[in-house]
Structure 1
Amino acid sequence: MKGILFVFDVLPELLDQIPTDTPIDTIGGDGAYDTKQCHAAIAARDAQPSIPPREGAMPWPESTSGATWRNEAIDAIAQRSRREWKTSSGYHLRSLVETLMYRLKTLTGNCLWARKVGSQATEVAIRVGVLNRMRGRQSDAQDEERTSWIACASLPTDGAISSLLTPP
């Protein structure tokens, strides 16, 4: 379909923007990412997918890139339940990240004002720092895990910005 961009078309391009020497532990997404193209892109980066197989999903041949993890997820869901799989696989963290992003956008706006990429990264770092200050609590391991999912932890910081990023 000309002019329509699907989510599974975008994932490989997004991963290409991350330097190959930057390790990625987990790549999460909803069921729309349960495609061979997405699983192949994730496997190429030696990352673990956190993507629920679609309802009624059938196992892929083992020769398919990313099939091992997906087939194990299908088996785990069949043996227990989708809810238990989401908890045991860490997929539930996705909803926590979505809540965090909702808060960030609600408090600071949906768009970035900076024009250059470096300035945009700084703007996001400041916004995250403001959110941390508003929450008024120390970061814990769970917060750090959520933050790493949205890649805010790797944003460049300096001077006044780093003081904003440090919770009170």
Structure 2
Amino acid sequence: MPHKFNASRRHKFDKKKYRVTNWRAYNESLRNRGDLTIWVNREIGKEWSAQRRTTRGGQRKYSDLAIEACLTLRSVYALALRQTQGLMRSVVRLMKIDLLVPDFSTLSRRAGGLQITKAAKARTEPVHLVVDSTGVKIYGEGEWLQNKHKTKATRRSWRKLHLGMDLNTGEIVCSDLTYENVGDPTVLPDLLDQVDGPVNRFLGDGAYDGEPTRRVLETRYGVDVEIIIPPPKTAVLSPEADRNPSSRDKHILAIKDKGRLGWQKQTGYNQRSRIETQMGRWKQVIGNKLKARTFNNQRTETKIGVRILNTITELSRPAFEAIS
């Protein structure tokens, strides 16, 4: 019995081998990921205290930047809130800066409504946007407890993480966290609101197939935006396919003519695998489980995770060349 029932009819490809050509710079970037000066610098002391409010209510002691800096260290070094407070105290002491560090309860309370600063970048060319979503676990009993002690299986709670990446730069340009029952096309307008600059190419999997996705993209970026979404096997041509075929009709005809693999090569849909690689990178660097227990805090945690991955990308990326 073969490993796959249709193994004899499956397309088989030789795995390509690659070689990293910038080992010196890439190795240094891997070291810099653990460098405290990458995540905290002396300039942070100038904006550590919150601005005095003129409306009624209590005065905040720490700025949003101070809370964000502490929570960033928490995610980078995989710490609990109390350990995060201790690490930040040691950092300001070594930097010889007279600053008070927020305690763990303040970090937890302020995380819910935290406004994450977004670095302003000048774009020289339009965005080639690829989007996808993945599930991340949240606080609760793990599989080990059920397997070890034969406890009663409970319904797993998880959140859906939506990411959008620019294929030109590898930067995560938009992100969102939703409940598990929210569909991908529903979140797309909110993701597009976060993209700075025009989008002239959009890649998504079959979950985004449908008129609502194409309508929102063409409304925002014009009818010239290139939309690459694979239609399902049961897809049929629209009534106006003969006179005025839509981009979806053209994809259906191309798949019938060249096959699905040929269509992927022609349209460049294979590049969508880079967002899946980004998902795996997230779960390896940030983790596959959210530490925060409330939904607002979880959203802040993912926004900080995006900042961390983008900072790592800015340090250096490996450059590959095919050797076979």
Where do 1:113-132 residues align within 5 Å? 124-130=306-312
% same residue: 30
Where do 1:85-100 residues align within 5 Å? 85-100=263-278
Q: Name which one, 1 or 2, has greater alpha-carbon Rg.
A: 2
Q: Does 1:29 align with 2:204?
A: yes
Task: State the SS of the aligned residue for 1:27.
Answer: strand
TM-score relative to the length of structure 2: 0.34
Task: Could you tell me which runs of 5 or more consecutive residues in structure 2 were left unpaired when the two chains were aligned.
Answer: 1-179
For CA contacts below 8 A with separation 6 or more, give which structure has more relative contact order. 2
Query: Judging changes above 3 Å, is the alpha-carbon distance between structure 1 residues 74 and 98 closer, same or farther for their aligned structure 2 residues?
Result: same
1:136-168 C-alpha deviation (Å, 9 max, x unpaired) = 63599xxxxxxxxxxxxxxxxxxxxxxxxxxxx
The answer to which structure has the higher helix fraction is 1
Residue 253 (structure 2) aligns with: 75
1:3-59 C-alpha deviation (Å, 9 max, x unpaired) = 9532222223432x246x720122221112111111111221332211001112111
Where do 1:1-168 residues align within 5 Å? 4-15=181-192, 17-18=193-194, 22-45=197-220, 46=222, 47-62=225-240, 68-110=246-288, 111=290, 124-130=306-312, 137-138=318-319
Residue pair 1:42, 1:48 contacting (<8 A) in 2 also: no
TM-score relative to the length of structure 1: 0.61
The answer to which structure has the higher strand fraction is 2
Q: For residue 82 of structure 1, report the CA deviation from its aligned partner.
A: 0.6
1:112-142 C-alpha deviation (Å, 9 max, x unpaired) = 98x6x99976653432343675x763599xx
Query: Judging changes above 3 Å, is the alpha-carbon distance between structure 1 residues 5 and 125 closer, same or farther for their aligned structure 2 residues?
Result: closer
Query: Judging changes above 3 Å, is the alpha-carbon distance between structure 1 residues 131 and 69 closer, same or farther for their aligned structure 2 residues?
Result: same
Query: Judging changes above 3 Å, is the alpha-carbon distance between structure 1 residues 6 and 105 closer, same or farther for their aligned structure 2 residues?
Result: same
Cα separation, 2, equivalents of 1:25 and 1:105? 29
Query: Judging changes above 3 Å, is the alpha-carbon distance between structure 1 residues 126 and 26 closer, same or farther for their aligned structure 2 residues?
Result: same
Aligned length: 132
Cα separation, 2, equivalents of 1:61 and 1:12? 28
Amino acid at match of 1:82: R
Task: Could you tell me which runs of 5 or more consecutive residues in structure 1 were left unpaired when the two chains were aligned.
Answer: 141-168
Cα separation, 2, equivalents of 1:128 and 1:107? 12
Q: For residue 103 of structure 1, report the CA deviation from its aligned partner.
A: 1.7
